């Protein structure tokens, strides 16, 4: 099965790969400013749902944007740090005209962050993280350009952010309620199993709740039903497979737990108002522009 579902150096257009604010290798892509990415046709490709194969750290220097990660919205703006561990589903929802950021994609990103994390830092903390990134950028462009030095610097940066997060948490008086914690656990289960497990009882058992109790909590916390969340996760995976693999519609339907291709097509049409084949053609047209 041919698959290409994450941005990697080979996908970068010639004009971006030769941009002085971009560094790339097999293990790392570093945008010292993402304006060249946002203003290029590649933004349409990045907007398509994809898996993050490399961990990412985004330091927003101006403007604002909204991403969806594992179905959840992450709105961030100047002064924010967004950390996205590898193997998460990622979509670009919107980007302001003045958006700019430093963005590092690093294979095996050293991190204590197991979940996607948005940090809103003070000016001093934000500038310190910028100093780390500038030092990493300078090392990458030095005579040695040692990957070992860069990895140690990344480890120090991520540990600094972890400690900063702990300080921010300790100063927060509004702790999550039991309902909020259960909702987070449920969404993590949907992210992990939503492409194959389509019964409420499965998620109820995993959260040690009855189906009715889980349904009530999810509805109260999010305004959506359990099955609406599961359907969104299934749809997201379907879009990724249609846009980034050469699997047949029937193979995708089977992989997503549908008994028949026609059932999958009806589901996809109902959720998107277009057929799987129409979506694939549109995605391929965008990618080949």
**pLDDT for the residue numbered 213:** 96
Fold agreement (9-170, 178-287): no
pLDDT tens per residue, range 104-127: 988 876 667 778 889 999 899 999
**pLDDT for the residue numbered 7:** 46
CA distance 157 to 122: 16
Residue 197 region by backbone torsions, left for phi larger than 0, else alpha for psi between -120 and 50, else beta: beta
Q: Is residue 10 over pLDDT 80?
A: no
**pLDDT for the residue numbered 12:** 53
Residues in the chain: 289
The CATH-assigned architecture of domain 178-287 is: Orthogonal Bundle (1.10)
**pLDDT for the residue numbered 170:** 56
Q: Is the whole model's pTM more than 0.85, yes or no? A: no
Nearest alpha carbon to residue 37 among 94, 101, 129: 101
What is the CATH number that goes with domain 9-170?
2.60.120.280
Question: For the ranges 72-76, 106-110, 185-189, 196-200, which has the lowest average pLDDT?
Answer: 106-110
Strand positions, DSSP E, the chain = 22-24, 28-31, 50-51, 55-62, 64-69, 72-77, 80-84, 89-95, 100-106, 117-120
CA distance 197 to 189: 10
CA distance 234 to 241: 11
Nearest alpha carbon to residue 264 among 242, 286, 287: 242
pLDDT band at 5 (very low <50, low <70, confident <90, very high): very low
Q: Of 15-19, 50-54, 142-146, 187-191, which one has max mean pLDDT?
A: 187-191
**In the chain, pLDDT over 70 holds for what percent of residues?**
85
pLDDT tens per residue, range 23-67: 888 788 899 988 877 665 555 555 678 888 888 999 999 999 999
**pLDDT for the residue numbered 47:** 61
Q: How far is CA 48 from CA 104, 167, 207, 216, in A?
A: 19, 35, 31, 32
Domain positions in the chain are 9-170, 178-287
Up-side HSE of residue 233: CA atoms within 13 Å toward CB? 23
């Amino acid at each position: 099965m041919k698959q290409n579902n994450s941005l990697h150096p080979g996908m970068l257009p010639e004009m971006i790969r030769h941009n002085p604010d971009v560094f790339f290798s097999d293990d790392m892509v570093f945008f010292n400013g993402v304006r060249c990415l946002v203003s290029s046709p590649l933004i349409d490709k990045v907007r398509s749902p994809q898996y993050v194969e490399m961990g990412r750290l985004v330091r927003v220097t101006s403007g604002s944007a909204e991403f969806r990660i594992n179905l959840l919205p992450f709105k961030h703006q100047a002064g924010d740090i967004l950390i996205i561990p590898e193997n998460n589903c990622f979509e670009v929802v919107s980007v302001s005209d003045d958006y700019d950021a430093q963005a590092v994609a690093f294979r095996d990103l050293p991190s204590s962050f197991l979940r996607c994390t948005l940090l809103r830092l003070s000016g001093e903390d934000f500038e310190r993280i910028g100093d780390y990134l500038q030092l990493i950028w300078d090392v990458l462009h030095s005579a040695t350009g040692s990957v070992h030095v860069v990895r140690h610097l990344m480890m120090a940066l991520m540990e600094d952010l972890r400690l900063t997060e702990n300080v921010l948490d300790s100063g927060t008086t509004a702790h999550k309620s039991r309902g909020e914690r259960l909702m987070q656990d449920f969404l993590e289960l949907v992210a992990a199993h939503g492409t194959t497990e389509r019964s409420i009882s499965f998620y109820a058992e995993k959260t040690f709740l009855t189906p009715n109790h889980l349904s009530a909590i999810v509805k109260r916390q999010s305004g959506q039903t359990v099955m609406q969340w599961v359907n969104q996760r299934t749809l997201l995976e379907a879009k990724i497979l249609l846009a980034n693999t050469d699997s047949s519609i029937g193979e995708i339907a089977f992989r997503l737990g549908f008994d028949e291709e026609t059932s999958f097509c009806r589901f996809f049409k109902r959720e998107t108002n277009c057929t799987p084949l129409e979506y694939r053609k549109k995605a391929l047209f965008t990618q080949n522009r």
